[in-house]
Amino acid sequence: MSKRSSDTAQSKPDLRLVNAEAEVYDLMRAPQTTADRVKRLQAEARALAVEQLEAFERSLHATAALAKEIAEGGDAYPVGARELAGRISTDLVSKAETIAAITQRTAL
């Protein structure tokens, strides 16, 4: 077994809940109308946008955690850098929470 396939087998699957009105699309069948195709593509675009916003939120939290470590790093870091990192950490956490709230509110 190659290393690549063992990494894939050990990673957790990305499971998401699907709306009740979601449909399975038969790729072998052409859409009945252009409007149906547009609706499907728009739904796919919205799903991809939600995924990207969730990734952005995770990145903000990770950056906030790094900034907090620097802020609490003591004399190893310059005073100005520690102060700035502390402010950035607080700001990024609130921004990430705002993004999460917007995503949840509009993804319903």
Q: What is the pLDDT of residues 54-69, one digit of tens each?
A: 999 999 999 999 999 9
Is the pLDDT confidence value at 18 over 80? no
**Quick one: average pLDDT of 7-18?**
61
If one counts every other C-beta atom within 10 angstroms of the C-beta of residue 86, the result is 15
Residue 1 is predicted with a pLDDT of 46
pLDDT over 70 for what percent of the chain?
Answer: 71
CA distance 42 to 46: 6
- Is-above-0.95 flag for pTM? no
Residue 49 is predicted with a pLDDT of 93
Cα–Cα–Cα angle for 19, 25, 35, nearest 5°? 90
3-state SS class at 32: coil
